[in-house]
Structure 1
Amino acid sequence: AMNLQRKIGKLLSVIGDHKRFAMAVATHDVPRIHQLVKTAIENNASPREIVRRIENSMAGLMKTCSYEAKDFDLGLLCWQLGGPKLVYALQRAGVSPALSTIQQHAIKCNVTISIGRPKAVDIQQNIQKFWGTRSAGFGQTFGHSLLIDEINLEECGRYFPASNIIVGLCREHAHTVDPYITSIKAVRDVGKAIHSGECHLGKEATVAAIGRFSKDNYHISPVILSPTCKTETAEQSKIWIQNILAQWKNSEDGEKKWGSIWSVASDGDATRRKAFHLLLMVTELSPNEPLWDELGDLRLLNLQTGPSNVTMDFDFKHLFKRRSNLIRSPEGTLIAMTLLTCDTVSKELSRLEDLSPKEIEALIDPADHQNVPKAVRLLQHILEVKKLPTIGLSPGELKSRKAITILSTILEAVISPFVQPTWSLSQQLESLALASHLILYGMYKHGTAFISGQLYHDLQSMVKNAYFCVAKQRLQDPKA
């Protein structure tokens, strides 16, 4: 009886410790409690000891210093976006490592900045830095996309100690000065050239980066960082884009290790669009190539490509934004012999019950033309209009509704492949094909009163590139 009583007492004590643990977790906001409990379990701590550690943590008598890789990644992101003060605040709250710890665990790769025109050696160094350090995936290769865009710069020169050189000069005119700091006179000569207009400080920096088509490790890595004064010609742009493709193809840390570049993508910059044409619309896909078996029988598909069948692409978010800006513009868009202006669209949107006049005004406001999420919301609300009943509408309103319905069908075909995660690849391609044919008909019927020639070109190029990339993936990995 004594032994049984002792066992029951011990069991009740253990049950009590578990209850205390459950109450401690449920009632106390303990920073990083999962790490605290994990560390305690690894140390074979009892429930009573775990509760004691939780209470000590609440009292500020101990801190959990065990961090995982994701904690350092999150801390690095906070540092880059919010600066050291944000990291310090999070560290004091016990939810982030200290800045010095984050810096110790961060992988440091400094981009080689191009002084003047991007050179082969700059591209080679960046490929080696960012791609040479990655672990190869058991011989598996992937398709890649070369992505090009600009970022804003503070217009000022900076000293780059690694090369003893002045950076920040535009690539178009940097060759007119000697950027190396060999004396005070050399620095003053650069200053005189800037003030005279012979050379300029970069207004923006062109960033070219490569990312792979993969479900993981698809983050991009830069291969070019080059300031520009925006006076570069398409012919000059073509040279360094071609150079990137060549360096990736020949590099031991590029195509030979990871796979080829399938597309070159950008926004709707006019100069770059022309450069793409000079480089990526030069050869017709040959019937002797394996890609022909996948694409050759698709009627109306443009089969012009660049070296190694590289195709051009344009960012779909920019295309959504530009299409919504066209809808917002006072000039409007001509569809089915009906001019849809921003006033017409506003009137149709006002029939939606879930939109207030203030919300409609914000969606139609042309001043906020860079807001991509708002552009997508506008396009999605237009899709809802075609579902509204037509009973009671006047002949003029019925005509506008018909045009809105056609516009909605086009927008749905363009947008859905990018916002419907449950769609199959076949559904996405069918939708893009529908969009391509509808846009072609609209352009044939109304010309640039329907959409601008540039937007038409970029939309069709996006659809074409999607088909080419899917075909290349089928050839590379038929089971994918």
Structure 2
Amino acid sequence: MQPSAPHARSKHCSHARFQGSPCGECSDVHRHIVHLSEIARDTKHHTNYKFLGLGHMQDIAKTYADQIKQLKLQELNHSHKYMRLLTQLDDYNRLLMAISKKDIPRIHQIVDVALHHGSSVQEVVNKLEDALEGAYTPRGYGANDLDITTLVVRLGGCQLLFALHQSLGLPSLCTLHTKSTFTSIFDQNIQNIKHSHTIEPVLRTYESAVNIAQKLHDGELHLGKELTVIGASCFGEDEIYPILAAPTCKTEDATDMEHILSRAIGSWNRTELVGPIWHAAGHKLFVKFPLPLPPESPLYGTLVNLQGLNLFTSEGEIMLDFDFKHIFKHKYFFLL
């Protein structure tokens, strides 16, 4: 037997039908039931739990379970974060204790190398401990290390440098020779320059000193008042290497200075040890530049399009440059 369909009837039903339709009171019951179903399906958030159905209670329980899982995950993340911070604080304390209680050689270089490689504080502390045990020695020396090593060699010799290399981590003598450039001064004078060839410039006897004094008194020999220095610098480096130093009595003319500089450039080119000279500059640079830059030069295609650029060079394509020191000096002189 099939179950009958559910039906609802108003308490105030008149038991009268009109063309198969229920009475007015029963028709209002249907609309009320539809409204109740909508309320049951879409409840308000402030509805008391005792008025909720089983489906809503299951949804609320699932929401709370998801919140519990999210809070547990946040708790684990915060725990890991706090443990990491505590580990970092412990590493910092270890670093401070290692620096304060132990004399670590070349600690600045160790920390600098470690930070350059992106090491953590723990790795830095491990490097310091290895350095104390002699298992690690940082590579690379700065200009100050090389200067101190040079001073140690000049004052104390190689044995003192070896002792400081073992105790303080200074560069060794082999490293000093590899990383530094030493200027060798040798006794080779440019002859036939003004008056220096008229006497013996080295005081070997008392008579040579008297002869020099007499020449100075008679005006045949002049005393050097300034020093003419010619230096060379390589592109990409800040150092300037002196290649000639000659005293001057301020009586030389442009021809003399041109002769000195020409001989220096010629000697440089004949050695062929470093490379060609690209440009020259100086306060008393009187070398003539009569030759235009040849079209077959690799620079011609680039420089020819620069209007106003001086393309005259000397032999070997040496171009004239400015002496910025004297440009700045004249500028400030006019400002004053």
TM-score by length of 1: 0.37
User: Which residue identity lines up with residue 185 of structure 1 in the other structure?
Assistant: E
More RCO (CA 8 Å, sep 6+):
1
**Counterpart in 2 of 1:319?**
327
SS of 1:226 mapped into structure 2: strand
* Contact preservation (8 Å) 1:116, 1:175: no
**1:66-81, aligned counterparts within 5 Å?**
69-70=141-142, 71-75=144-148
Structure 1 CA distance for aligned equivalents of residues 296 and 88 of structure 2:
76
**Which of 302, 314, 317 is the matching residue for 1:294?**
302
In the TM superposition, residue 43 of structure 1 has moved relative to its aligned partner by: 6.5
Compared with structure 1, are the counterparts of its residues 18 and 291 closer, same or farther at alpha carbon in structure 2 (3 Å cutoff)?
closer
Q: Could you say if the C-alpha distance between residues 177 and 44 of structure 1 is closer, same or farther in structure 2, counting changes exceeding 3 Å?
A: closer
Partner SS state of residue 321, structure 2: strand
Residues 183, 241 of structure 2: 8 Å contact kept: no
Looking at structure 1, the residues matched to 214 and 327 of structure 2 have their Cα atoms a distance apart, in angstroms, of 42
Alignment equivalent of 2:257, drawn from 226, 231, 237: 237
1:226 aligned residue (246, 260, 266): 246
Q: Residue in 2 aligned with 1:23?
A: 96
Q: Which residue of 2 aligns with 1:284?
A: 292
* Residue type at the aligned position of 1:22: L
Structure 2 counterpart of 1:123 = none
Aligned CA RMSD, in angstroms, stands at 4.6
Match of 1:185?
207
Evaluate the alpha carbon distance shift between residue 291 and residue 21 of structure 1 in structure 2; reply closer, same or farther with a 3 A threshold: closer
1:262 positional shift = 0.8
1:263 aligns with 2:336: no
Change (3 A) 1:107 1:298: closer
Residue pair 2:104, 2:128 contacting (<8 A) in 1 also: no
Q: Is the 8 A contact 2:104 2:132 kept in 1?
A: no
Secondary structure in 2 matching 1:247: helix
Report the 3-state secondary structure (helix = DSSP H, G, I; strand = E; otherwise coil) of the residue aligned with 2:300.
helix
Post-superposition offset of 1:241: 0.9
Q: Is the contact made by 1:116 and 1:174 (CA closer than 8 Å) also made in structure 2? A: no
Following superposition, the deviation at residue 291 of structure 1 comes to 3.3
Of 296, 299, 306, 2:314 maps to 306
- 1:74 deviates by 3.4
> Could you tell me the TM-score, scaled by structure 2's length?
0.51
Residue identity opposite 2:281 in structure 1: A
Specify the alignment match of 2:130 in structure 1. 41
Q: Is the 8 A contact 1:114 1:226 kept in 2?
A: no
- Equivalent in the alignment of 1:202: 224
Q: 1:223 to 1:237 in 2, by over 3 A?
A: same
- How far is 1:73 from its partner? 1.8
**After the TM superposition, which residues 247-258 of structure 1 pair with which residues of structure 2 at under 5 Å, given as runs?**
247-253=267-273, 258=274
* Cα distance change on mapping 1:107 and 1:249 into 2, 3 Å: closer
Q: Do the aligned residues in 2 keep the contact of 1:207 with 1:222 (CA within 8 Å)?
A: yes
Structure 1 Cα separation of the partners of residues 308 and 139 of structure 2: 56
Look up the SS of the partner of 2:247 in the other structure.
strand
Counterparts of residues 410-449 of structure 1 (less than 5 Å): none
Alignment partner for residue 213 of structure 1, among 212, 235, 248? 235
- Whichever residue aligns with residue 112 of structure 1, its letter is F
Aligned length: 221
Equivalent pair of 1:202/1:227 in contact (CA under 8 Å)? yes
Quote the offset at 1:237 in angstroms. Answer: 1.0
Opposite residue 146 of structure 2, the aligned amino acid is D
In the alignment, the residues of structure 1 paired with residue 281 and residue 94 of structure 2 have an alpha-carbon distance, to the nearest angstrom, of: 55
CA distance 1:240–1:16, shift in 2 (3 Å): closer
Asked whether the equivalents of residues 290 and 313 of structure 2 are also in contact (C-alpha less than 8 Å), the reply is yes
Q: Which residue of 2 aligns with 1:172?
A: 194
The 8 Å contact of residues 226 and 248 in structure 2, kept in 1 or not, is answered as yes
The more displaced of 292-301 and 109-118 is: 109-118
How far apart are residue 238 of structure 1 and its match? 0.8
- Structure 2: how far apart are the matches of 1:239 and 1:20? 68
In the aligned structure 1, how far is the partner of 2:150 from the partner of 2:321? 29
Unpaired stretches in structure 1, ≥5 consecutive residues: 1-13, 47-64, 85-90, 119-170, 329-480
CA distance in 1, matches of 2:96, 2:134: 18
